[in-house]
Chains A and B, each alone.
Chain A
Amino acid sequence: MSSKQIYQEVILDHCKKPRNWGKIESPTHKAEGINPLCGDHIWVTMNIKDDIVDDIQYEGESCAICMASGSMMTAKVKGKPISEASTLVENFRALTTSPDWDDKDKSLGSLSIFSVIRDLPSRVKCAMLPWHTLTSAMNSEGDISTEGEHDPVPGSGTDKG
């Protein structure tokens, strides 16, 4: 599948009609995610009850890949135990960065389309930002960036100064 197909088939649907778009008022967990190199700036707010993602919303300014990834992510993790959400984060990271990774138990469902991102290293950060921010929100770590120790693909930045 080419990057054009991923835009046509999935991403644009989620960009035009983002799921769970917005910010929860008084969430139990929240985080802000920033990709300083491309200017993506997003927020993930959550209500976690009895270790289950009772509600999750996503909002921000970003490219289409980041926006679709965030929209599909919220749809995927809503109602799931946080342990499962953490596994999904790891699976999504493997999907977008490891050439040989196979989603054997089909845990990611329609998100598997993001495997195309493996061939677009400069866009991995765009796809990963919502998931980093989700992890940050679940751990209540506060703000997160895709640079430094959180860099999913060190040295892949598109703006090297």
Chain B
Amino acid sequence: MILSVTFEKTTYAEIPAKFEAGTPPIVAAIGLGEALDYLESVGMDVIEAHEKTLTDYAYQALQTVDGLTFYGTSESKAGVMSFNVKGIHAHDMGTLLNDEGVAVRTGHHCAQPVMERYSVPATTRASFYLYNQTDDIDVLVASIKKVQKIFN
């Protein structure tokens, strides 16, 4: 925002007002507030515990897949699992899991130095949250095994 404008000279408002011209993101702010109210009504600790349960379940379930390698196995990790399955490029895995109705992220995840650290071109990444159930993980694991059958 400005303090005053003439053809000769423009004087800007003090920071932060200088950078806050125009309509503020009112709708976004109200939306954020609603989202926080919702999360608090469920309980942040409940969400964290649910995510931890799913992550532990997935960690066990994915170990039944032959040739699966995890990338990132910290005890305190969030509900995000990166992995590759021997002989199957992550992008092929992603396309075929998509056919089974399973949405995963594939690629270098905007973290190319990490890919280089593990000497892989890409990984497949599944993530879990409040709206997932252990059933979803069963479908993920069964679908990976189906993809393996296609490749073998």
Q: Flag whether A110 is at the interface (Cβ < 8 A).
A: no
In the assembled complex, the Cα of A7 lies from the Cα of B106 at a distance in Å of: 18
* Contact present for B110 and A161 (CB under 8 Å): yes
B contact residues around A8 at 8 Å (CB): 150
Out of A39, A61, A63, A161, name the residue touching B92 (CB < 8 Å): A63
Given contacts A63-B89, A63-B91, contact A159 B99 (CB under 8 A): no
Asked if A39 meets B121 with Cβ closer than 8 Å, knowing A4-B99, A7-B92, A7-B96, the reply is yes
Docked-complex contact B110 and A3, CB < 8 angstroms: no
- Which residues does chain B contribute within 8 Å of A161, judged by CB atoms? 110
Contact size range, B: 10 to 19
**Cβ distance A83 to chain B, nearest Cβ, rounded Å:** 33
Closest residue on chain A to residue B151 by CB atoms: A12
Tier of interface size on chain A: 20 to 34
Residues of B within 8 A of A7 (CB): 92, 96, 150-151
Q: Is B95 an interface residue (CB 8 A)?
A: yes
Q: Does A64 contact B (CB under 8 A)?
A: yes
A159 engages B107 (CB within 8 Å): yes
> Which residues in A have some Cβ–Cβ distance to B below 8 Å?
2-4, 7-8, 12, 37-40, 61-65, 120, 122-123, 126, 158-161
